Structure 1
Amino acid sequence: MLKPILVALTAIIMSGCANVPAEKQDERDPLQSLNRPIYDFNMDVLDTYILRPVTVGYVEVTPQSVRTGLVNFTTNLTAPTDAINAGLQGKPSSMGVNVARFLVNSTVGILGLFDVATSLGLEHQDEDFGQTLGVWGVGDGAYLMLPGMGPSTARNLTGDIVDNYALPEIALSTPQTLALFAIKAIEARASLMAQEKLLEESLDPYIFVKDVYFQRQLYELYDGNPPIKEEPTDFDEDFLENL
């Protein structure tokens, strides 16, 4: 089911979008005429009528301790993939930390519900295959606005697919996997509540989100130390962390 979608996306990326006016063309975003309507659908329909109301309700009725445990659990599931990607990127220290985190939190932390590893100085090292490809010299490719998922790039979409096949989540049942995806999506949306005003006040929210996304990718690729000076922005790190 996924293969035809990827083939179609690849064909669109290769052909580009000739109907985007030249003066508005962003070389990072050759699919702008396709991406903008998808962005509008994500924000005006999915977020307005589904994701935001569900997130608000979830935050109101779920105790913080329960939410923290669920986030810890989902983060722990990604630790093996983080470790593999750290190794592929030539980061033995980060790989070791992720392996140690998984072992500690899966045992003492009761399957990851409690983040014991962080209290021991083993901070989460977030590494994914999209970053791995970037370290290997693969460019971003076309910017993509995915229905129901938000911003990505051709490189990071490929990375997400590889990571999802490698995750322990694939051993779970479909309902369990969907539940984990829902938790991640809701918690990510909850963390952005405080940033909504920035988006609303931006001259072009679509461009605002795109620029934030690319800055976040640069930040992650170089572990917080990008080689180029970034322009000052009026959004904070929480916004960057959850795109």
Structure 2
Amino acid sequence: MGTTMGASLGRIGRRGVIMMATVVGIGGCASNGVSSEPNPADPWEGFNRKVFAFNDVLDRYALRPAAQGYDYITPDPLQKGVSNFFDNLGEIHTTFNSLLQGKPRNAGISSTRFLMNSTFGLAGLLDPATHAGFIVDDEDFGQTLAVWGVPEGPYLVLPFYGPSTVRTAASLPVDYYTYPLTYVEDDTVRYTLRGLEVLDARSQLLDQEDLLRGDRYSFIRDAWLQRLRFEVNDGEMEDDSFIDNDFDYDEDAFAE
């Protein structure tokens, strides 16, 4: 699937990776008949494809092998604990942006999750909040800008980060400075945690990436935009005639 989803840094990149993992998990195999019709949301497609190719090379020769090694040597329960830990840190984003969006209930649930998982969940390694029924809608500053009426802008592939839009790209500095790892003073600890976060996020795509067929660039773009709009609209899908939803779903591919 390439670094377009994998070689991102910190929480802002991890969120994109997990979003794409969800999209692929829902969509299954992309049809070989992915539409070649130009997408009006992607007027910079020529530039974006070049960045996509650059990211893909970095992923193929660096990040993906590292993620495979991490997945091979790390037991599943430990991987789950690592994912829980970083997801718990992300609750700070959700609480902050929920308040900015005028969603006090979601902010309350998110802050409750953070407190519960940080204490009873052993610093977030466990997720007792979910088992207790505290389910939250993830929010970031890009979604906050959308609620404030900022247009989405053209689709944009960023080096190392991957799929984005102009609005999403503009939100990244705020997401960065509202993420707890940014304020870890010890450089070694901070870089180690960020590296582990990226490896964990990239490893979550290893099982799904082989399900993609056809033009990967177009599929990833259309699926990412669709998922982005799904989240901005709090779970309500928008109709988009330029997104090909004709996926071939193979239940055997997702069998345990």
TM range (shorter): 0.7 to 0.9
The question of whether the paired residues in 2 share the 8 Å contact of 1:128 and 1:160 is answered with no
- In the TM superposition, 1:221-240 aligns within 5 A as 221-228=232-239, 232-234=245-247
* Counterpart in the other structure of 2:115: 103
Change beyond 3 A, Cα 1:73–1:140: same
Partner of 2:84: 72
Aligned position for 1:27: 40
Which residue of the other structure, out of 119, 122, 125, is the alignment partner of 1:113? 125
Q: Deviations over 1:153-174 (max 9, x none)?
A: 1111222220110122222133
Question: Which of structures 1 and 2 has the larger relative contact order (alpha carbons within 8 angstroms, sep 6+)?
Answer: 2
Change (3 A) 1:235 1:189: farther
Cα distance in 2 for partners of 1:95, 1:55 equals: 33
Taking a change above 3 Å as real, the CA distance of residues 49 and 75 of structure 1, as seen in their structure-2 partners, is same
Shift in Å at residue 185 of structure 1? 2.4
| Counterpart-to-counterpart distance in 2, 1:109 and 1:87 | 24
Q: Which has the higher helix share?
A: 1
Whether contact under 8 Å (2:70, 2:203) holds in the other structure is no
Aligned pairs, how many? 211
1-side partners of 2:62 and 2:199: how far apart? Answer: 11
2:138 matched to 1:138?
A: no
Q: CA deviation at 1:228?
A: 3.5
Matches within 5 A, 1:1-243: 26-43=39-56, 45-173=57-185, 174-199=187-212, 201-202=213-214, 204-228=215-239, 232-234=245-247
Q: Percent identity?
A: 40
1:141 is paired with a residue of what secondary structure? coil
Q: Could you say if the C-alpha distance between residues 177 and 156 of structure 1 is closer, same or farther in structure 2, counting changes exceeding 3 Å?
A: farther
Is the 1:76–1:102 Cα contact (8 Å) retained in structure 2?
yes
Structure 1 gap segments, 5+ residues each: 1-22, 237-243
Match of 1:78, as an amino acid?
G
Q: Does the 8 Å CA contact 2:156/2:165 hold for their aligned counterparts?
A: yes
Query: Are the equivalent residues in 2 in contact too, given 1:118–1:124 (CA < 8 A)?
Result: no
> Is contact 1:195-1:235 (8 Å) kept?
no
Q: CA deviation at 1:123?
A: 2.0
Q: Name the TM-score, length of structure 2 as normaliser.
A: 0.75
**Paired residue type of 1:194:** D
Q: Secondary structure at the match of 2:130?
A: helix
Q: 1:62-87 deviations in whole A, cap 9, x for unaligned?
A: 01111111111111112122111111
Matched residues in 1 for 2:248 and 2:208: separation? 8
Give how far 1:105 is off.
Answer: 1.1
Whole-angstrom CA distance in 1 between matches of 2:111 and 2:140:
15
Tell me the CA shift for residue 231 of structure 1. 5.6
1:116 maps to a residue whose letter is P
Separation of aligned partners in 1, 2:158 and 2:52: 8
Residue 125 of structure 1 aligns to a residue whose secondary structure is coil
For 2:248 and 2:151, how far apart are their aligned partners in 1?
25
Q: Which letter maps to 1:113? A: L
SS at structure 1 position matched to 2:42: coil
1:19 maps to what in 2?
A: none
Measured against aligned partners, the alpha-carbon deviations of 1:125-176 in whole angstroms (never above 9, x if no partner) come to: 3110001111111111121111122111111122222011012222213333
- Change over 3 Å in CA distance of 1:104–1:149 after alignment to 2: same
Give 3-state SS (helix, strand or coil) of 1:223's partner: coil
Cα deviation for residue 233 of structure 1 reads 4.0
- Secondary structure of the 2:157 match is strand
